[in-house]
A and B are shown apart, each in its own frame.
Chain A
């Protein structure tokens, strides 16, 4: 039985697509057959982050409307074995995704894949609700910043009331907190909410903390999932998050301020 993981946040720009690409790649690297689906109809971007934008022929909505088969629409990742991408449609039709259509595609994917990652659009409208409706696991991506934390709490409420598991009265969606764009320096200066603050407010288990890192932008410039940047802290932090998602124990890294030299500290550099 395939596991359906939704990567969601409510707020836009917090790193959902970056995280979907990284987590999906990391899970595939562990030998599980994985597909990442872009649910952001009209604002397709997962293809760019994964570096396969020129190979998109058919998309998710084509498959729902039976204009293409699933095999025609799936893009095989060139870097990672067992990883596929299902791109979003660029249509402006907001009703392109239907519950029955999404259900049918997920069922077909579940026969072949071990993990299905649903990259949710921002907001709490149709696309976001479709992305989370069938989920078994939710990764809630949050920046240590007031609007992101509040929106994450709102999404948690929707996961607990509007998902299929909630409607059927099944076991609730397993929720995980992924904090991204974390600045240990600003936290220690009292300018940014700490991991503990965010955990306390949202009260869901922490799966990882991704430090703010130049390598995230560099990786997206090149169309490479940042988890493949094994020299970068962000890449390593995503690898740890994948391990934890798979049930392994990993201590948190990159949460403390790196020590500066005496002169740098004196001058406040």
Chain B
């Protein structure tokens, strides 16, 4: 870094720290998908179909997540019901 660079604005985060933040997010996202069992997408579709038999919901209003916390797996199902 020379004397000329010194006067440039220093307020922005360094590009390396931007890279690190982006990587941490994408890697965590991809890892969580990797640990999903193969049957999850199909199960997700079938659950959505069952809910649709009773309530008209959009598939984006149904969120299914499988979380592994130590040796315990939690299947989380979130359904946003439409307004009456």
Contact = CB atoms under 8 A, between A and B. Distances in A.
A121 B30 CA distance: 22
Interface secondary structure of B, over-half rule: helix
A56 B41 CA distance: 49
Contact of A268 (B4, B16, B34): B4
B24 A201 contact: yes
B20 interface: yes
A2 B16 CA distance: 40
Nearest to A267: B2
Interface residues of A, number: 23
Interface in A117-151: 145-146, 149-150
Contact of A266 (B3, B20, B22, B31): B3
A268 B7 CA distance: 13
A146 B16 contact: no
A189 B4 CA distance: 14
Interface residues of B, number: 19
A205 B23 CA distance: 18
A187 interface: yes
Nearest to B33: A157
Contact of B16 (A192, A200, A267): A192
Given A153-B31, A265-B2, A190 B14 contact: yes
Given A266-B3, A268-B2, A191 B26 contact: no
B23 A150 contact: yes
Contacts of B23: 146, 149-150, 193, 201
Interface string A240-269: 000000000000000000000000011111
A145 B18 CA distance: 11
Interface string B5-38: 1000000001111011011101100110010000
16 contacts: A145-B19, A146-B19, A146-B22, A150-B30, A153-B27, A153-B30, A153-B31, A157-B31, A157-B34, A187-B16, A190-B14, A190-B16, A194-B16, A197-B16, A266-B3, A268-B5
Closest 6 CB pairs of A and B: A268-B2, A190-B14, A197-B20, A157-B34, A153-B27, A190-B16
Given A161-B34, A201-B20, A201-B27, 19 more contacts: A146-B23, A154-B30, A157-B31, A189-B14, A190-B14, A191-B14, A191-B15, A191-B16, A192-B16, A193-B19, A193-B20, A197-B19, A200-B20, A265-B1, A265-B2, A267-B2, A267-B3, A268-B4, A269-B2
